[in-house]
Structure formats: C-alpha cells, structure tokens
Amino acid sequence: MRLILFGPPGVGKGTQAKLLAQDHSIPHISTGDMLRASAAEGTELGKKAKAIMDAGQLVPDDVMIGIVREVLGSPRAARGFVLDGFPRTLEQAKALAKIFQELKIAAYWVLNFEVDDEEIIRRLGSRLVCRTEGRILNRETDALTPDGRCPECGGELFQRDDDRPETVRKRLQVYHAQTAPVIEFYRASGVVVDVDGTNSVDVVHREIRVLLEDLQAP
Ligand code: AMP
C-alpha cells in the first residue's frame, strides 16, 4: 500500500497516517517529523529548517526532494509507505513522479483531506504533541491525565512552535498559494480519494478503511 496524505496543516494527516501505517504495517514518513528531528539534533539542516518552519514557510524544494528520494529508496519503504507532508509544491510533485518512476512504483493513492480554515485554526490552537511517542492530542477534545500529560503513556505534552496563531495563519496562506493547487496534478491521474476530515479521528479512520477496501476490491 502506497499512500500520499494531502491537505492543509491541522487537517488530521499525521494522526490518520499513524493509524494507516499501523493497519498496513508500513512506515509513516512525515517530512515535518524528519525536519523536527533534525532540528532537535541540532544539525545544520535542522537549524536552517527550524527557522523556516517557525516562520510558517516552506523548506526549499531541492532539500525536501533529496530527503524524500533517500527515504523512499531505502529498504524500510520497499513494501509501501504513508507519505505525510510531501509534496507541498508542484515542483515536489513532479520530482516525486520521477522518483516513483525510478523505483518502478505505479500504484498509489492520494488521500485528500478537507477541513475549512476556521476549524483548522481552532484545532491547531489546542493541538498538543506527546514528547515520548509523538502522539497528537487535542487539549479540548482528548481526555488528558489530571496533571495534563499523555493519557496513553504519561509523556509530557507540548505545543509545536509553529502552532502559534500568527504562524498558523502564515502556514494556511502558504498552503492555499503553493500546496492546494498541487491536487489538480493528481486529479488528472485519477488517483485522488477525497476524505472529509471534519469528523472525529475514529470516524475518519473508518471512512478511509472503507474507501481503501473499495479501491482494492477486484
Ligand atoms: P508538518 O509537520 O507537515 O506540518 O510540517 C511542518 C513544517 O515543516 C512545514 O510548515 C514546513 O515548514 C516544513 N515542511 C514539511 N514538509 C515540507 C515539504 N514537503 N516542503 C517544504 N517544507 C516542508
């Protein structure tokens, strides 16, 4: 199973990507997570990327394409993957098509998540991430422990620096200007599956499972 999760920030891509990766025993490849890991390690790339991410901008295409080429060509992605956060520009989409050609990948689906901007701003304002396992939670809709920790593992929860309201607005602008048009590139190939991201995590997950089963049915 090869899936590309597409949609604005805060639409639920990361959460659903983790569930789908588990369902199919394939890796969740999140370009945002990879950049944040580099930033936490303090590598040169990480430091540069952190400044760009905190400004709500996109990391240059050549850097991102290099990262994705390497990870998709590695053995861990050989049996499939859930790609989350890439492509974000038409340039990246075209480069990904080339990478797929090189790797002889013909079959894949693009799950296009849709949620309106107001809901995204609301969600990102209350999004928390577990420092231990990267689980994504919401301080308004998820039951946290009494001392405000991760209900699954007790890990410390934090807000991403780029989830501050002014950065969220910038990220949404960038999404509409540079990323949203990319879906037309995939619509032309008939690989897009639209997903209504407004429902709860469980409902969206179930809907995707049904959609994927239908697609795989002979
Ligand atoms: P995400 O976790 O997917 O929301 O990504 C967080 C940030 O990482 C984005 O706002 C960008 O600054 C950067 N980033 C992640 N993926 C890409 C990409 N494919 N192209 C450019 N920048 C990216």
pLDDT digits (tens, 9 = 90+) for 18-54: 999 999 999 999 999 999 999 999 999 999 999 999 9
Q: Supply the residue whose CA is at minimum distance from atom 11 of ligand 1.
A: 58
218 pLDDT more than 70: no
- Is 69 part of the annotated catalytic residue set? no
Looking from the CA of residue 9, the nearest atom of ligand 1 is 4
Residue 124 CA to residue 128 CA, distance in Å, equals 8
- Is 127 part of the annotated catalytic residue set? yes
Predicted local confidence at residue 217, as pLDDT: 64
| Token output for 37 | 């890991």
Residue 93 CA to residue 112 CA, distance in Å, equals 14
- Of all residues in the chain, what percent are helix, strand and coil, respectively (each to 5)? 50, 15, 35
| Type and span of the H or E element at 161 | none
CA of 178 to the centre of ligand 1 (A): 12
- Is 104 part of the annotated catalytic residue set? no
CA of 58 to the centre of ligand 1 (A): 6
| Token output for 157 | 């929860």
CA of 153 to the centre of ligand 1 (A): 27
Predicted local confidence at residue 13, as pLDDT: 96
- Identified catalytic residue from 2, 88, 123, 149: 88
How confident is the model over 56-65, as pLDDT tens digits? Answer: 999 999 999 9
User: Which residues partner with 29 through β-bridges?
Assistant: 83
98 pLDDT more than 90: yes
Report whether residue 124 contacts ligand 1, using a CB cutoff of 6 Å. Answer: no
User: Which residues partner with 158 through β-bridges?
Assistant: 129
- Is 160 part of the annotated catalytic residue set? yes
User: How many residues appear in the chain?
Assistant: 218
- Identified catalytic residue from 13, 18, 123, 135: 13
| Token output for 119 | 């809901």
Predicted local confidence at residue 133, as pLDDT: 87
Most informative mutation of 13, 16, 57, 58 for ligand 1 (most atoms within 8 A of CB)? 58
The whole-chain average pLDDT of the chain stands at 95
Predicted local confidence at residue 196, as pLDDT: 95
- Is 79 part of the annotated catalytic residue set? no
Report whether residue 27 contacts ligand 1, using a CB cutoff of 6 Å. Answer: no
Q: Quick one: average pLDDT of 194-206? A: 95
Q: Quick one: average pLDDT of 72-91? A: 97
Most informative mutation of 4, 18, 53, 171 for ligand 1 (most atoms within 8 A of CB)? 53
169 pLDDT more than 90: yes
Closest CA to 84 of 9, 46, 127, 28: 28
115 pLDDT more than 70: yes
